[in-house]
Amino acid sequence: MTDPRTLQPSELDQLPDRDPQETTEWLDSLKAVTDAAGPHRAAYLMRRTLEGAEGAGVSLPKLLETDYVNTIPTSAEPEFAPGTDETMERRIAAWNRWNAAAMVTRGSKYGVGGHIATFASAAWLYETGFNHFFRGKEGDGSGDQLYIQGHASPGIYARAFLDGRIGEDQLDHFRRESGGNGLPSYPHPRRLPWLWEFPTVSMGLGPLSAIYQARFNRYLTSRGIKDVSDSHVWAFLGDGEMDEPESTAALGLASREGLDNLTFVINCNLQRLDGPVRANFKIVQELEAQFRGAGWNVVKSLWGSAWDELFQLDVTGALVRRLREVPDAQFQTYQTRDAAYIREHFFGAEPALVELAKLISDDKISECFHRSRGGHEPRKVYAAYRAALAHKGAPTVILAQTVKGFTLGKGFESKNANHQMKKLTVDEFKDMRDLLELPIPDSAFADGQVPYGHPGADSPEVRYLTERRAALGGPAPARRTQPVAPLPAPADKAFAAFDKGSGSQSVATTMAFVRLVKDLVRDKETGKRWVPIVPDEARTFGMESLFPSLGIYSPKGQTYEPVDRDQLMYYKEAVNGQILNEGITEAGSMADFIAAASAYSTHGEPMIPFYIFYSMFGWQRTADQMWQLADQLGRGFLVGATAGRTTLTGEGLQHADGHSPVIAATNPAALSYDPAFAYEVAAIVKEGLRRMYGEATPEEDRDVFYYLTVYNEPMPQPAKPAGVDEGILRGLYRFNTAESAGVEVAAAGAPRIQLLGSGTAIHWALQAQKMLAEEWGVAADVWSATSFTELRRDALEADEALLRGEQREPYVRQVLADAEGPVLAVTDYMRQVPDQIAQWVEQDWSSLGADGFGLSDPREGARRHFGVDAESVVVAALAQLARRGEVPARSVKEARERYGL
């Protein structure tokens, strides 16, 4: 007998063995099977034993991989739903395949191209869903949420053409939008808002967003905002796309929270843009292990029904072993080779396979290896989708194997370059027509032009399609475009509380914003609609006081007693919690924000998200998602806290944000503000609520979001001057003059300069104003520049109006019209931020900013390093005046020496 003590050390060695003799008998049995029947048989028995143990509820580590076969065998496939007409569905799919390919090919003459092969491989993954599963928005609830793979968009347009939602002229303007009648290349809600809901290119953002959308659906239901428990999220992805880190970043969240309202459908055609996804490995097996390890339910649909005969003949398991060991790139080669090659290189690997191959005809081999894939058979796809919806307690991923370029002919199928191939020849179209059995005569190919095909508005195909969609709740994909009722404005008291200033108390604008939100979430009408989002930094931003009052959302509630339960601001989790505390994931937090920001359309429920984060780790780290937010027409408040390059003491380069307003300025939907004072924060938030959620004017674009930078440096907050609201919102107003500030200037007619400060930099400008008057006899007026970006946009619009023959003066030029002397702007960001408006300022212009890398230092040292402290502002102001001959040149040298610059 085998002595268990001779085995390699194991974690089981730490457990007491109550019956060593029984253990030895089990091990001897395993050895006997291995010796008599071989290791493959032993492995099979072990896998079946582990599967049986799992089914019996025995707690064991899960198997991360199964054999390279279908999860659902043919014998276990469910029948189609009553009323299904398989022949009709094949005809509908054929028309859609044809029109998708025709649209891209016709567009190639304009040089716009498009992707043909992706939809060709995935057609049945979509068609089966549209015919039987995907619920529309005209039924009860919100319907399903569909994240369509971006490169498959021609197939979705083709289906919309068949059901009458898109005309032939629009198909002919695929990727040619400038005339106003075109179709965007990919799912872009901002460009085609009645059709697309979710932008899914850049790749990787779709799967991440789908997980958080499913999670946000649960959040809405748990909080009693709207019951969307019937909504299911479907994300269609490519196997190559799964290389993007965002694609798998939140798998653990989906499993941890049991998101069985979510299904990933991964089109495993084994190819990415340049070649095989895993040339020397197997992407399906890799993905299965990854998803199983994360706790997902995995359904593999790899082989079509033609393979059933081969598997029945495989009495030794040699076929299954061979399928598992062949790398993907070699299998793609089989796809393009004849039966003789496959007999030699696949079946010739071992004697058992040679014997098996003798029982199979060449035609059967070609059918199996060239065409028969699980993703190409509607019954296989239907079974997988049914299994996904039936599984409870965890999300499901369906790994569907397909052939990239399927039905497009030998010139496309499984070719490495087919992602870049943009058209078929007329002869290839005729071959495709014959394969799909479409009634398109040769005469329709006039002058070499490929025709679109449509069976007619009253054809059996269109009637069947329409009936199926009506039964499922209307067209899909579709986006709600009808406006929701405006939300009532919160009581003005919350905003007016900041008008008096902070008196002798120093307050950071970060804390002012948090205090404002605390008041707004108490509003009886709109308070419940606020969605606070924070990536594990709530205490940094002073938000811990919200924990006990709002609660942190958790689908499990709080299953433990928190260590700080006896404290007033204890860590409270709740099923109906309002705060989304995502942990250390800016990408996950942004995905949350996007789901909440577009809930007004997705679910007809306007939500008011604010996502507060270290400003350095917002636009720098997740700007791609902020473009996704803009594309999805999201609304809400992004708050870059601890903002500015010198306000966060000691943290250093990685935490020193000197550029987020620059990046934000590139996003047309982002209204970017750098408020200096608490009352400015209140005014901007009030305006944002009105514009995005309240009674906006018809000329205003409601589909915007606000980016506010707030600093963590406690400073005295002044009272709000009269008549500054317009300036706050438009980007610039005069905070004070030298005279109103009460500084003494020795001589009448003293030199004058205009100091523009944004955010925390205005405090240095105010110090400099006093120093210039008292030490150098210079009068300085101080302006608060709340948004250089909005000033620039207004000026650009004025320039465009001028080209149309309209006279319009930029706002910045209007407000500075009577300002005497030169203008000096100072910011805690790169000089590029204020320099955005330089060309529209008629006075002499100069600027100071924190360019370069950040560094660890106290605030004073960092500001001196960058040359933006009050003393540096004074020297820069004197230098500007000296160039104009208004102060002696020696004053500049004297000031530098006096201040140690």
Distance from chain centroid for Cα 265: 17
Answer with the residue of higher pLDDT: 673 or 567.
Answer: 673
**What is the C-alpha to C-alpha distance for residues 206 and 210, in angstroms, rounded to an integer?**
6
Give the per-residue pLDDT at 746. 58
The closest alpha carbon to 769, from 861, 869, 870, belongs to: 870
Give the per-residue pLDDT at 7. 46
Count Cβ atoms below 10 Å from residue 539 Cβ, excluding itself: 12
Give the per-residue pLDDT at 27. 86
| Residue 61 predicted with pLDDT over 90 | no
**What is the C-alpha to C-alpha distance for residues 834 and 827, in angstroms, rounded to an integer?**
7
The DSSP H or E segment spanning 307 is none
Contact predicate 306/368, CB 8 Å: yes
Mean pLDDT of 644-669: 89
Give the per-residue pLDDT at 420. 58
Give the per-residue pLDDT at 419. 57
Please tell me the chain's helix, strand, coil percentages from 3-state DSSP, rounded to the nearest 5: 45, 10, 45
Give the per-residue pLDDT at 715. 94
Contact predicate 121/401, CB 8 Å: no
Per-residue confidence band for 461, with pLDDT thresholds at 50, 70 and 90 = very high
678-693 and 509-520 are packed helices; what angle lies between their axes, rounded to 10 degrees?
40
Distance from chain centroid for Cα 260: 20
Q: Lowest-pLDDT range, 4-13, 429-438, 565-574, 580-589?
A: 4-13
Mean pLDDT of 312-317: 92
pLDDT in tens, 805-828: 999 999 999 999 999 999 999 999
Q: Mention every residue, 6+ apart, whose C-beta is less than 8 A from residue 262.
A: 210, 211, 214, 232, 233, 235, 254, 395, 396
pTM: 0.94
| Residue 59 predicted with pLDDT over 80 | no
Instruction: Give me Rg for the CA atoms of the chain.
Output: 33
| 261: DSSP letter | T
Q: Mention every residue, 6+ apart, whose C-beta is less than 8 A from residue 801.
A: 807, 808
SS3 for 202-218, per residue?
CCCHHHHHHHHHHHHHH
Q: Mention every residue, 6+ apart, whose C-beta is less than 8 A from residue 728.
A: 675, 680, 683, 684, 784, 786
The closest alpha carbon to 709, from 735, 688, 736, 680, belongs to: 680
Residue % of the chain over a pLDDT of 70:
97
Mean pLDDT of 894-900: 96
What is the full DSSP assignment across 433-459? HHHHT----GGGSGGGPPPP----TTS
pLDDT in tens, 183-222: 999 999 999 999 999 999 999 999 999 999 999 999 999 9
Mean pLDDT of 169-192: 93
Give the per-residue pLDDT at 460. 97
Give the per-residue pLDDT at 643. 92
Contact predicate 820/635, CB 8 Å: no
The closest alpha carbon to 389, from 299, 295, 285, 302, belongs to: 299
- Paired with 641 in beta bridges are 614
Distances (CA, A) of 397 to 298, 388, 391: 5, 8, 11
**What is the C-alpha to C-alpha distance for residues 353 and 319, in angstroms, rounded to an integer?**
7
Answer with the residue of higher pLDDT: 33 or 397.
Answer: 397
Give the per-residue pLDDT at 2. 46
Give the per-residue pLDDT at 296. 97
Give the per-residue pLDDT at 15. 55
Answer with the residue of higher pLDDT: 749 or 832.
Answer: 832
The closest alpha carbon to 97, from 154, 151, 163, belongs to: 154
Look up residue 425 and give its two tokens.
Answer: 């020849």
Mean pLDDT of 378-406: 97
Using DSSP bridges, classify how beta strands 637-641 and 608-614 pair: parallel, antiparallel or unpaired. parallel
**What is the C-alpha to C-alpha distance for residues 632 and 264, in angstroms, rounded to an integer?**
20
| Residue 561 predicted with pLDDT over 50 | yes
Per-residue confidence band for 337, with pLDDT thresholds at 50, 70 and 90 = very high
The closest alpha carbon to 257, from 2, 553, 10, belongs to: 553
- Paired with 266 in beta bridges are 237, 399
Answer with the residue of higher pLDDT: 44 or 299.
Answer: 299
Q: Lowest-pLDDT range, 214-223, 345-354, 741-750, 874-883?
A: 741-750
- Work out whether the CA dihedral 123, 128, 133, 137 comes out positive or negative: positive
| Residue 701 predicted with pLDDT over 70 | yes
Q: Which spans in 203-276 are helix H? A: 205-222, 245-248, 251-256
Give the per-residue pLDDT at 467. 97
Give the per-residue pLDDT at 422. 62
Contact predicate 738/766, CB 8 Å: no
The closest alpha carbon to 546, from 584, 583, 581, 591, belongs to: 581
Give the per-residue pLDDT at 116. 87
Residue 219 exposed, middle or buried by CB count within 10 Å (0-12, 13-18, 19+): buried
pLDDT in tens, 492-546: 999 999 999 999 899 999 999 999 999 999 999 999 999 999 998 889 898 999 9
Mean pLDDT of the chain: 93
Give the per-residue pLDDT at 48. 84
Per-residue confidence band for 242, with pLDDT thresholds at 50, 70 and 90 = very high
pLDDT in tens, 82-133: 999 999 999 999 999 999 999 999 998 888 878 889 999 999 999 999 999 9
**What is the C-alpha to C-alpha distance for residues 241 and 206, in angstroms, rounded to an integer?**
10
Per-residue confidence band for 180, with pLDDT thresholds at 50, 70 and 90 = confident
| Residue 681 predicted with pLDDT over 60 | yes
Mean pLDDT of 1-17: 50
Mean pLDDT of 301-319: 95
**What is the C-alpha to C-alpha distance for residues 103 and 105, in angstroms, rounded to an integer?**
6
| Residue 744 predicted with pLDDT over 80 | no
**What is the C-alpha to C-alpha distance for residues 423 and 426, in angstroms, rounded to an integer?**
10
Identity at 223, one-letter amino acid code: R
Mean pLDDT of 871-877: 98
Contact predicate 626/555, CB 8 Å: no
Give the per-residue pLDDT at 418. 52
| Residue 8 predicted with pLDDT over 60 | no
Give the per-residue pLDDT at 417. 56
| Residue 698 predicted with pLDDT over 50 | yes
Give the per-residue pLDDT at 3. 47
Give the per-residue pLDDT at 329. 95
Q: Token pair 């996904």 is at which residue?
A: 388
